Structure 1
């Protein structure tokens, strides 16, 4: 095991305290199946106070293996508290496998001092925590980070100027760009913002408080998301003003000074620390994971990617055995010198439709863009159009917005859903290909090139790829939204990224392209008149017309 890197003085002897992990963590641990066998009994030091960059106490729990010898350390910094499910998932399980685990509440959460302010303090507080680690008698100088969602952000923040002790990272369904979590092409990702607000405000107070707040949000979601104006309508759920939530909802432009320093994308552009990335096909942060994978690869950093059949939350529930096993193998390989658990290829992805895992050399694999074009009769064809003639149009009414259904959300309604009822609405266009005579694999990024005109000059366009089975069930595969500004009757081009996927369209199935004017309340409804969706009190219905020189651009496996 590597020696300390910060000095040559020997470590003082350390005797582990007598504390056992909390009973609730042990009980939850007993419910999990398909996990690696326990190697060590676990001890627990709760409530340690680590001085933050400004001296504020960061409350920290220390889990450790009850065994002789040196063990590497995992740093887990979280704004969601240190109890369930984090204590068993990270403290208990990883300590059983031979790691010290430092589970810390970010400032202003879980009893830590100071005030929580989304993203602004994580770099300095992470560095202060490493400085504290260097003084601990049990710290052997070997450090890694691990964790999901915002716990991924705290990892990237530390990696922006990594300490020499940092030897590996495992970013699970992770965040690195807060702006992209809350906005897409200037459109507010409303349901995300509300869900993140509840999680950040209440989860660190305990599961009971978090569940009560979640239920309040579910009961009042319609009232909040249809309020005029939208600004401040969420306050009844939160009971008080949450400055950072108001700020993120009202600053749609990524170039606004408010967002300066928020994105940690740059950390991956120069990183030399082996980094494992884990996401799901319907993870709300999947695009951010793919972006960081690409940056790490271009930087020449050792990296691996696991893409499961999960949403943001199900990756840590149904997917936890795979996520934990993948994470453990990476940490053992790069902290303990044991590569036996690593898979032979850099990328492993679960292919929807086929319901099988594939090992790939890279992401995306060798692929080709294979356009499909819409026709006036509602078909999808390989034949390119010869003009820009209007094909079909629909009326989007902000007072009766097209509802959201499934997809990459933070709620329990995320993931694949039958879109048949949605597609029966008059404000949803569909273009459907013929039954397939051989399977089609779409593996990689998907986008839409749209040629659109409107009668008001202002609209959102939501575009979705669906798989239609032999019974007519239309299931969403991936999607995206773009904000349109047009000159009126003349069609304007817009390219809408629809995320990346791995999906097999089986023989007898059909490929469907779905187009509408929004997905509410996943996205705040477009007022139709150019006003801010947060401040608008007047709404204008919009006639949206799709023209012939539009195309769906999937990435088709070229093998």
Structure 2
């Protein structure tokens, strides 16, 4: 890591310029409930020009408290524009709480000069933004970063060689590895790739272009995702998008195209206190858990909040909790005010009982138990004998098994009733009898499946579901693996199914769901050995599941989860503090 030296020179008196935040931001702010009371009136400097590393002009907005005094600075760099929702979410709300907020459009977006080249320019341009900050009379030398998704990626880019002023980071539903987002288990994350294409290409152009692009994609989704070949079929909705074609046609993580795009190494040596926030159905949840593990191993101070959210709902329904968690972290590390920090570093929402649980670490140290698919669709803890076929099904890529819910960027993400999906002939289910006592699952879930095929080419999708007393089957977590089998002999494949914190209540049943895909969430396997993006022909495959397959569940101790009254959520804690201050 490069060592920096920088002397903070005495700052001249700074007089706040005139200007109120945009009306649209103030109107959106007025609709939010459950947020801490405003502490400062907010001013706004619009369209400041900040030089990028190559000299390109980067348009930048500055939000600030209209109060005399010194305040720390938050740097927010985004390729999605500086208007809604970023202006009220970050510029207005955090300036109200006593921060200078610098909201900058990445190179080549929303009026900034230069060419937007995903992932390539962020480390250098982040350092250039900090160099500009050092020249501002209101900059105190205390800096934090915050933001979600790609706005999290730019934080990791700055953390590769963190400036000495960087004292805290808040990465919300954030990315550090583009390849693993676009390609999981050997398959293209098709639907999320298309939604990303719409967001990155059109959101910075304004609300109307973004809405039109989203509607075009929704109307043409089936046409686009079933096209043969799949490559560039998205152009009917977006036009030509070279970077999207690049990510779809480079599935191999070792391809030179991806060289230098993963920023995971930043967490391996980071000492900047970092708060991580995700949701159980966030499309980037696994990357957040990976970031947390690396930071902990590096000895970096870190905290983790995992709520019952998707990638987008974390900033919508979950925003009061996310905002309060973020604010408490920033106050602690930028303002020397640790009062809002919780005693334990990890807080997770436990599904199945709608309660929060505070933990010392993630994952906890549970006992991993094996549950075995058996004849007649049962799921049992009795170890099977022999290696005979259990059952089989036919997967037809011309009529692919549809995706339902889960970690999507689009509408329909999250938990859903799987009953109709499980009625299909190409979906296997294995289910326990009703549980006599609750079963807590906390940690990473996986399925070790013994599979054979008649063609040699197949995907296998595994999903954990909670079946209630009314037989409603709700997805908890899942994953997919692409396999190539040798002949018709069974091969063993492990399907990572992400992580969860979920209580299966007494009277409920645990279900393992197995199928040959989840389309269009994942690009369908053509069954021919051709790349999914280039395939022009399709071949059905018969997939056989053999005994010896197992579902691995990290079962936690039967510890009572904290209720809202036992341990307040970050949002409730802030509200309680506000009430106390009001009474005083």
Q: Same fold (TM over 0.5)?
A: yes
Aligned to 2:579: none
Corresponding residue for residue 170 of structure 1: 170
Distance in 1, matches of 2:7 and 2:312, equals 42
Structure 1 residue 185, shift from structure 2 partner: 2.2
CA contact (8 A) 2:8 2:141 kept: no
For 1:330 and 1:349, how far apart are their aligned partners in 2?
17
Structure 2 equivalent of residue 84 of structure 1: 84
**Aligned match of 1:155:** 155
Match of 2:58 in 1: 58
| Preserved contact between residue 42 and residue 92 of structure 2 (Cα < 8 Å) | yes
Partner residue in 1 for 2:347: 348
Matching of residue 212 in structure 1 with residue 216 in structure 2: no
- Tell me the TM-score normalized by structure 1: 0.98
- Structure 2: stretches of 5+ with no match in the other structure: 559-584
**Counterpart in the other structure of 1:281:** 280
Aligned residue pairs total: 555
Query: Quick one: distance in 2 between partners of 1:326 and 1:353?
Result: 23
Contact 1:58 1:105 in 2 (8 A): yes
Residue of structure 2 in register with 1:553 after alignment: 552
Instruction: Provide the C-alpha distance between the structure 2 equivalents of 1:545 and 1:325, rounded to a whole number of angstroms.
Output: 49
Counterparts of residues 158-307 of structure 1 (less than 5 Å):
158-239=158-239, 241-307=240-306
**Matches for 1:384-533 after TM superposition, within 5 Å:** 384-533=383-532
Separation in 2, partners of 1:324, 1:193:
27
* 1:366-398 residue CA offsets vs partner (Å, 9 max, x unmatched): 211111000121100001111111000000000
SS across alignment from 1:478: strand
1:323 matched to which residue of 2? 322
Listed as ranges, the gaps of 5+ residues in structure 1 are none
How many angstroms apart in 2 are the aligned matches of 1:8 and 1:31? Answer: 40
Q: Does the 8 A contact of 2:370 with 2:381 survive in 1?
A: yes
- Cross-structure match for 1:31: 31
C-alpha displacement at 1:227, in angstroms? 0.2
How far apart, CA to CA, are the structure 2 residues paired with 1:368 and 1:251?
38
Aligned to 1:544: 543
> Partners in 1 of 2:309 and 2:434 — Cα distance?
27
Kindly state the Cα deviation for residue 149 of structure 1 after the two structures are TM-superposed.
0.5
CA positional deviation for 1:488: 2.1
Tell me, yes or no, if the aligned pair for 2:373 and 2:379 is still in contact at 8 Å: yes
Q: What CA distance in whole angstroms lies between the structure 2 residues aligned with 1:160 and 1:446?
A: 31
**Aligned-pair distance for 1:10?**
1.4
Other-structure match for 1:19: 19
Q: Is the 8 A contact 2:448 2:552 kept in 1?
A: yes
* Equivalent residue number for residue 139 of structure 2: 139
Contact 1:70 1:138 in 2 (8 A): yes
Q: Is the 8 A contact 1:6 1:134 kept in 2?
A: no
In the TM superposition, residue 27 of structure 1 has moved relative to its aligned partner by: 0.5
- Conserved 8 A contact 1:366-1:558: no
User: Structure 1 residue runs of 4+, over 3 Å off?
Assistant: none
SS at match of 1:200: helix
Does the Cα contact within 8 Å between 2:387 and 2:546 map onto a contact in 1?
yes
User: In angstroms, what is the RMSD of aligned CA positions?
Assistant: 0.9
Equivalent residues of 1:441, 1:556 under 8 A apart: yes
Give the TM-score normalised by structure 2. Answer: 0.94
Residue by residue over 1:164-184, the C-alpha shift from the partner in whole angstroms, topping out at 9 and shown as x without a partner, is 000000000001100011001
- Write the distance in 2 (CA, Å) between the matches of 1:55 and 1:318: 40
Taking the aligned partners of 2:92 and 2:350, their CA distance within structure 1 comes to 32
Asked if structure 2 preserves the Cα contact closer than 8 Å seen for 1:443 and 1:502, the reply is: yes
Cα distance in structure 2, aligned partners of 1:375 and 1:366? 28
**Contact 1:5-1:141 within 8 A present in 2 as well:** no
Q: What's the counterpart of residue 575 of structure 2? A: none
Counterpart-to-counterpart distance in 1, 2:118 and 2:140: 31
Alpha-carbon offset, residue 12 of structure 1: 2.0
1:9 Cα offset (Å): 2.9
- Tell which deviates more after alignment, 362-371 or 46-55: 362-371
- Partner secondary structure for residue 372 of structure 1: strand
Shift of the 8–21 alpha-carbon distance from structure 1 to 2, 3 Å rule, reads closer
**Secondary structure in 1 aligned to 2:390?**
strand
Measure how far apart 1:361 and its partner are: 1.0
Q: Give the CA deviation at 1:243.
A: 1.1
CA contact (8 A) 1:39 1:97 kept: yes
- The secondary structure found in structure 2 opposite 1:445 is strand
Query: SS where residue 524 of structure 1 aligns?
Result: coil
Structure 2 counterpart of 1:119? 119
Q: String of CA shifts for 1:416-445, please: whole Å, max 9, x gaps.
A: 000000000000000000100000010110
Secondary structure in 2 matching 1:377: helix
Q: Please, which moves more after superposition, 381-390 or 434-443?
A: 381-390
Q: What is the alpha-carbon distance in structure 1 between the residues aligned to residue 441 and residue 145 of structure 2?
A: 33
Q: Are 2:81 and 2:105, in contact at CA under 8 Å, matched by a contact in 1?
A: yes
In the alignment, the residues of structure 1 paired with residue 255 and residue 146 of structure 2 have an alpha-carbon distance, to the nearest angstrom, of: 31
Q: Which digits, 9 at most, give the CA deviation of each residue in 1:481-535, with x for residues without a partner?
A: 0001101210001001000001000010000000000000000000011101000
Q: Distance in 2 between matches of 1:434 and 1:355?
A: 23
Query: How many angstroms apart in 1 are the aligned matches of 2:56 and 2:425?
Result: 56
Distance in 2 between residues matched to 1:397 and 1:9, nearest whole Å: 68
Deviation, structure 1 residue 8: 4.9
Give the distance between the partners of 1:336 and 1:73, measured in 2 at CA.
Answer: 11
Asked if 2 retains the 8 angstrom alpha-carbon contact of 1:5 and 1:165, the reply is: no
Q: 140-149 vs 203-212, which deviates more?
A: 203-212
